[in-house]
A = this chain, B = another copy of it.
Amino acid sequence: MIRSRSPRPLLNLVVTALMLAASLAASPRPTVAAPKVETYKLTNGMDVVVIPDHRAPVVTHMIWYRVGAADEPKGVSGIAHFLEHLMFKSTDKIPMGEFSKIVAKLGGQDNAFTGQDVTSYFQRIAKEKLRTVMEMEADRMVNLRLTEKEVLTERDVIIEERRSRIENNPNAILDEQMDAALYTNHPYGIPVIGWQEEMAKLSQKDALDFYKRYYAPNNAILVVAGDVTGAEVEALAAEIYGKVPANPATLRDPRPQEPAPRAARRVMLSDPRAGKASLHRDYVVPSYTTAAPGEAEAIDLMMKVAADGATSRLYRALVVEQGVASSAGGGYDGAALDGGKLSFYAVAADDVPLDKIESAMDAVLSDIAKNGVTEKELERAKNSYTAEYIYENDNQSNLARRYGWGLATGRTIEQIETWPEAIGKVTADEVKKAAQTYLDIRRSVTGILTPTPATADAGAARPAPAAPLPANRS
């Protein structure tokens, strides 16, 4: 299923359901009025968000659990995502593997995804079937049945998912290794899908422990967008989800935090499947949830100017003007509970050496840190973000996702809704200050991906895969 840490940039978000894939390709339209969102809290602590949208008789029903891969116990990496898969197995009411088939028979589509901070389940369906999917979702919130056999079968599925998504993709392997080097202490350094060696040992007990600990109405946010009113949803939710008992022990613990970054890091990966050599650079920075007021917005705008698309500084310098890269870009992964990440990349043009590309990238970033961005660039970036935000208002699934993800990572409705205003207030000086503060090489890891060993990989390297360490025999 889908796994990611953040809704924007979507570079790393792999969408497996037709529904969401279609929704992401929403065509730009003229300005759409902001939705009139209503929120409630049920007596058992469950948050409810209703986003009325009466243009078509359909609804998007989403449950967001405030738990993700970064909340996994030590040595049990992948269990959050594994449980997400297992949630499609059975309950007393739903026969084995029938959940999605029932939704499909009702004319709907469903899926789920797991990130570092959130786990979400959703259906898009005709409005008169809302009660049915709510009942199904409320049922599997606490009544999941797992047999040892189902668990073992599904474990093979997630291991195959890892094989196809990570092991078959040198960029994904590098990304995993860069995260492991970027985070020296925080669990964001552990892949959402899990380390292969730990996935192979995930058990029925691991899944049930995680389920019982974190799946409860008081750890969940219900988001319903579509052809409904707030009153309708409140009544339905109170009736259906309201009878699920709260679990007082369900809130997640604080995660180990990242110490102040102090040394630049590099990761070199050689893989014959790599294609063109490429350069990658990530920086650990605050997220919207952890930043001082206005700071995340400044970072966001800085990244828009620096690296987003063909008009960005990076693309123009490396691809258009110097011709050292065939593509280049980057983004800000800022929708996270504990901290955000900047990512830059450039793919080498022809046989341009990566150190030349790195110098060119560093020059672009140094210039922004030293001289800031122009008023014109800033204005264009603000307009672009504001337009994106408004376009997103037009898309039911994206809207539901905006509120669910924001709330599940510690933001308030007000913060979510006043984002365009907050973006509008950012000054060029604030952007420059953000660049100066956060484009600090000590916060960074640089990734080098080459189809054959690069000079930086010299030494006693061998062509064969590195043998794993033997397991501790004691």
Residues of A within 8 A of B (CB): 74-75, 77, 173-174, 177, 180-181, 184-185, 187, 189-190, 195-198, 253-269, 284-286, 289-292, 337-339, 359, 361-362, 365-366, 368-370, 409-410, 435-437, 439-444, 456-462, 465-474
Contacts and interface: CB of A to CB of B under 8 A. Distances in A.
Given A196-B260, A264-B461, 12 more contacts: A74-B255, A195-B259, A197-B260, A257-B471, A259-B468, A260-B468, A264-B267, A265-B266, A289-B474, A337-B472, A410-B474, A439-B460
A262 B466 contact: yes
Contacts of A185: 77, 180, 190, 195, 198
A70 B428 CA distance: 46
Best-surrounded residue of A75, A173, A457 (most CB of chain B within 10 A): A75
Contact of A263 (B74, B264, B267, B289): B267
A174 B359 contact: no
Nearest to A190: B185
A290 B259 contact: no
Contacts of A264: 267-269, 456-457, 459, 461
A440 B458 contact: no
B290 A471 contact: yes
Contacts of A187: 74
A468 B290 CA distance: 12
B441 A458 contact: yes
A374 B265 CA distance: 37
A459 B444 contact: yes
Nearest to A370: B460
A472 B195 contact: no
B472 A290 contact: yes
Contacts of A261: 466, 469
Contacts of A253: 75
Given A259-B197, A468-B260, A74 B74 contact: yes
A473 B262 CA distance: 23
B290 A473 contact: yes
B474 A461 contact: no
Given A362-B458, A436-B462, A459-B439, A263 B174 contact: yes
A181 B444 CA distance: 12
A291 B256 CA distance: 31
B474 A337 contact: yes
Contacts of A409: 474
A74 B469 CA distance: 23
A354 to B, nearest CB: 13
B181 A184 contact: yes
A119 to B, nearest CB: 17
Contact of A435 (B365, B456, B460): B460
Nearest to A189: B184
A414 to B, nearest CB: 15
A267 B459 CA distance: 17
A165 to B, nearest CB: 16
Contacts of A254: 75, 472
A338 B369 contact: no
A441 B470 contact: no
B471 A256 contact: no
Given A197-B257, A461-B441, A462-B436, A265 B265 contact: yes
B173 A256 contact: no
A259 B75 CA distance: 11
A256 B177 contact: no
A292 B470 contact: yes
Contact of A265 (B198, B267, B460): B267
Nearest to A338: B472
A75 B339 contact: no
A43 to B, nearest CB: 23
Contacts of A284: 469
A75 B472 contact: no
B266 A268 contact: yes
5 contacts: A259-B468, A265-B268, A289-B473, A436-B462, A443-B466
A221 to B, nearest CB: 14
